Structure 1
Amino acid sequence: MQFCDECGSMMHADGDEMVCSSCGARVAKDTEKADQFVSTEEQSGDELIETEEGANFEGKPTADDVTCEKCGHGKAWYTIKQTGSADEPPTRFFKCQECGNRWREYN
């Protein structure tokens, strides 16, 4: 990742130059470091990490406004994680208190 010397914003590749997304400043690519950079178009979601299988939900906050799709129980423990960018709402990860089924809810 390369940041603009003028305004500090993240730069993106445009041919043989790096261009600032905010102020438009342009600099030549550093070909010696080019193999260290990885560019992606968008996040696919495959790399998002859901709560670990062995995570202990007991003692976490309880939601009683949900229904487990597996057993129909109306209470689940939950945790909240920021899985998207900071300007997007967080994701709630649930574990049914009855059967242990896990699911997530995007707000």
Structure 2
Amino acid sequence: MEFCDECGSMMKTEDGVWVCGSCGAEKARDTQKEAAMTSTQSQEESEVIDTSEVSAEDMGPTTDARCPECGNDRAFWEMKQIRAADESETRFFTCTECEHKWREDDH
């Protein structure tokens, strides 16, 4: 990712140069510098992990959360970044009784 030296806006590539979408400033591309940049285009989504045979003690922290299936008031929880880095993480819950899984934004 490259930012404009003039206005600080994010730049995009056009015909071998970086171009600012806000002010139109241009600067030459540096292939060595770009090779060191991390791109999200080639990254794969994280794999699903089977927790069916994991003991309750190894599941992690619990919190007060009402299960929409059985009404139990305790659940294991974990936070994951599933959207863009500039968006908040999503909290996932697993009921300590019936093992129903849901996420915080499902309600």
* TM-score in same-fold range (> 0.5): yes
Query: Aligned equivalents of 2:25 and 2:78: distance in 1?
Result: 42
Shift, 1:49, TM fit: 9.5
* Cross-structure match for 1:24: 24
Counterpart residue identity of residue 14, structure 1:
E
**Aligned residues of 1:48 and 1:83 also touching (Cα < 8 A):** no
Q: Does 1:3 align with 2:7?
A: no
**Aligned residues of 2:67 and 2:100 also touching (Cα < 8 A):** no
**Structure ranking higher in helix proportion:** 2
Q: Does 1:63 align with 2:62?
A: no
**Aligned residues of 1:11 and 1:19 also touching (Cα < 8 A):** yes
Query: Pairwise CA RMSD of aligned residues?
Result: 3.8
Query: Aligned equivalents of 1:16 and 1:31: distance in 2?
Result: 10
Distance verdict in 2 for CA 1:41–1:79, change over 3 Å: closer
Counterpart residue identity of residue 32, structure 1:
Q
- Report the TM-score, using the length of structure 1 for normalisation: 0.58
Query: Aligned equivalents of 2:78 and 2:101: distance in 1?
Result: 11
Percent identity over the alignment? Answer: 41
Shift, 1:14, TM fit: 1.6
Distance verdict in 2 for CA 1:89–1:34, change over 3 Å: closer
Query: Aligned equivalents of 2:59 and 2:101: distance in 1?
Result: 11
Query: Aligned equivalents of 2:42 and 2:35: distance in 1?
Result: 20
Query: How many pairs were matched up?
Result: 98
For structure 1, the 5+ residue unaligned runs are 68-72
Partner deviation per Cα, 1:5-24 (whole Å, 9 max, x = no partner): 01112222222111223333
* Cross-structure match for 1:94: 93
Partner deviation per Cα, 1:56-94 (whole Å, 9 max, x = no partner): 122x2x221522xxxxx2234245556434775652300
